[in-house]
Amino acid sequence: MQLGLTYMTPYLDKHRFTGPLFDSPEFVPDMIVCLPVLNEPRLIRTLESLAQAKANYPHNVLILILFNHSATADQAVKESNQAAYLHFAQAIRPMVNPRFSIQAHLLALPKKHAGVGLARKILMDEGVRLFALAENKEGILAAMDGDSTVAPNYFQAIDDFFRRHPKLEAASIHYEHPLPKNERERRAIIQYELHLRYFVEAQKMAGLPTAYQTIGSSMAVRQSAYQLQGGMNRRKAGEDFYFLQKFARKGTLGNLNETTVYPSARISDRVPFGTGRAMGRLLASDSTLDTHALIIFDQIKLLLDGMPAIWNYTVEQIEQFRQSMPPAVQAFLAENGFLERVLDAQKNTASPAAFLKRFYNWFDGFTMMKYVHFARDHYYPDEPIDSVAHQFATREWGYKGQKEDILGLLEQYRQHR
């Protein structure tokens, strides 16, 4: 039975950006996958991968695709999107079945907000609306990109994760970039993925509780929690980081390591930073990727290790504690209101655990990133990724491989999930 298209939840009434775009499927969806698409020549491969994964999952899956571009995009981009949209219906016919439906919509986005964040938001909000129409309060929203593929157990692993962890609200799904045969491209993506993994592993070593991989093509969330946290943001890039940090601060984000998403390693200029941009820069200059010096994380670890003890410190003791830190940490804390943050946390909490939770609501992944950039700009310049990642792996995990074997080094990092 076709359900009405205008049902609204309080979240949608307040936060939606568009009116209804997609029809209710003939079934009650258990999971909805959201795919923003802009100039994606590999979309059909992505859909075939999802269809193959659905064959191993007995419940209902709906795929929502938003072909999108800026209202002021080049005519060639608009025509490419239009052609892909028209080709879409014929291409998906062999894939769909009574438990697997794929829908698409073509939409020009206003110049001011056009980008992947808004496209994801529109799709995920539509997922919320369709779950509400079907009266499925337990539905799961999965975010992907139109040039990624997934492991055959993708849907089942997501379903199992949320069933096994009823208190978790969102998942960061394990990812691995496919490695191109071309040697230059291969080295470039290995370096970039090493950078991503080293950056998070170094934060974990330092003791940051909100350290997670945040990749837009490999995340999932309970639709009920999505609404309570205010949904997806409209950032043109980095939307995945800011979105998942909401759940990391709450302690309701988990790592889903039982399946894998394979994001594309191709060059792209669709966003101001990320995999596509990094690949373009590395290949254009044939250079080595630099990353953040390990000493930056070692020094912030001194701060984070000492935080449990200061929940009842006086103002003088707090200042003495700050001054005991290395110069980079001292300066960053002074510039970012550390004393005021600690006093606020003391005033509004009654136990060390509550104090720390409030502190880490401030010193989250975003503040850590600010500190890392501050330390890089003023104290410790970036260093080659192969050298830094090897230094970290050797020291922390007893890695025995050679620095020059960057593929072996990447495999070591991939094992630490």
Which 3 state secondary structure label does DSSP give 257? strand
Cα distance between residue 14 and residue 24, in whole Å: 21
Average pLDDT score over residue span 393-404: 96
Q: Cα 144 from chain centroid?
A: 10
Hey, how many other C-beta atoms are within 10 angstroms of the C-beta on 363? 23
Which 3 state secondary structure label does DSSP give 82? helix
Average pLDDT over the chain, rounded to an integer: 92
Could you read off the pLDDT of 24-58 as tens digits, one per residue? 999 999 999 999 999 888 899 999 999 999 999 99
Query: Looking at residue 263, what is its pLDDT?
Result: 95
Q: How confident is the model at residue 3 (pLDDT cuts 50, 70, 90)?
A: very low
> If we measure between CA atoms, which residue out of 76, 64, 45, 77 comes closest to residue 121?
64
- Residue 118, pLDDT > 80, answer yes
Q: Give the pairing of strands 61-70 and 100-109.
A: parallel
- Residue 323, pLDDT > 80, answer yes
The answer to whether residues 61 and 100 touch, using CB atoms and an 8 Å cutoff, is yes
Q: Could you please report the per-residue DSSP string of 165-220? A: -TT--EEEEEE-PPPPSSHHHHHHHHHHHHHHHHHHHHHHHHT-TT-----TTSEE
Instruction: Tell me which of 265 and 155 has the higher pLDDT.
Output: 155
Instruction: Quickly name the fold that domain 10-184+212-272 has.
Output: Spore Coat Polysaccharide Biosynthesis Protein SpsA; Chain A (3.90.550)
Cα distance between residue 35 and residue 73, in whole Å: 20
- Residue 282, pLDDT > 70, answer no
Query: Looking at residue 273, what is its pLDDT?
Result: 47
Residue 148 burial (10 A CB sphere; 0-12, 13-18, 19+): buried
Quote the longest CA-to-CA distance of the chain. 71
Q: What are the sequence ranges of the domains in the chain?
A: 10-184+212-272, 294-378
Which 3 state secondary structure label does DSSP give 396? helix
Cα distance between residue 200 and residue 20, in whole Å: 38
